[in-house]
Amino acid sequence: MRWILKKYNPIISDAIAQNFSLDPISAILLAQRAGEEYESWINVKRTVPNPKALPDIDQAITAIKQAKYIGIFSDYDADGVTSAVMWQEFLCARDIKTTTYIPNRKVGYGPTQESIQELIARGVDTLLFLDCGTDCHELFTNIKIPIVVIDHHLVKNPSLPVAAFVNPYRTNVTQFLNLCTAALSLLVIAAIDSKYPSKRLYDLAAIGTISDMNAQIATASEQQTAVTEEISRSITSIADSAEETDQGTRETAQTSQQLHELAEQLRTQVARFKV
């Protein structure tokens, strides 16, 4: 097999290796992906965008707060499933009844008339569509109950017949354009209750982000922040658990120490690269 190496500027890769003490291979990979913008990839600003700048965020908050029984429909990929879990846990914590519908991959992407009617037949008073719904203008036209759509796919028609259409591509707000639905869900949940987002929700958002195979998503610094933090936190938690479960063995102590060291390396090294 003959490998074809992606072109890069050796001057940039040499500068990366020298300025940031990286090995040549890592420097070349970063030069290939970031080019002259490599410094912004390494010196990541750890900020979380203000969810109030999302389109229809107030309408989404109102619809969700007023609901008593929400039907959650999500895509079947990791981004959709983690988003569904995040919302189900958050809504249940607020004593809002939920039911979830995740279609079989063989059926295809997005909701159908049959799946919507099945959720309505369960008695829901509000529908929440996650990682889908952006192109469902005709499908949503005759639905009589409030619909909230949280999605990150490109928008052809910015006007949906729904109560809230939370998709950054509606208004092209730059700070949100690279966020997947799990990350958007985290922001909307924080907008509803700023005290609620927990480590578990960040874990789920990290899984959704890592797993979503969209090239644009892979370059989002906001998501990189969440992913980097949660990978290192998760490893630290594993290390702490190892210490608690069996502090009497040398092997466990050594493993725990190695995990702590790995977590620290992640905090200082993983942030240099886009997930």
Residues 206/183, Cβ–Cβ less than 8 Å: no
Q: Give the burial class of 32: count Cβ atoms within 10 A of its Cβ; 0-12 exposed, 13-18 middle, 19 or more buried.
A: middle
Last residue within a domain, chosen from 139, 169, 200: 200
Between 193 and 172, the more confident residue is 193
Is 120 inside a domain boundary? yes
Residues 154, 80 share a domain: yes
Q: Which domain holds residue 273?
A: 220-275
- Residue 221 pLDDT exceeds 60: no
- Residue 252 pLDDT exceeds 80: no
Residues 146, 247 share a domain: no
Q: Looking at residues 80-105, what average pLDDT do you find?
A: 92
Is 68 inside a domain boundary? yes
pLDDT of 249 reads 45
Range of lowest pLDDT (91-95, 215-219, 261-265, 267-271): 215-219
Residues 166, 72 share a domain: yes
pLDDT tens-digit series, residues 30-72? 898 888 888 877 776 656 678 888 999 999 999 999 999 999 9
pLDDT of 225 reads 55
Is 65 inside a domain boundary? yes
Is 210 inside a domain boundary? no
Number of folded domains that form the chain? 3
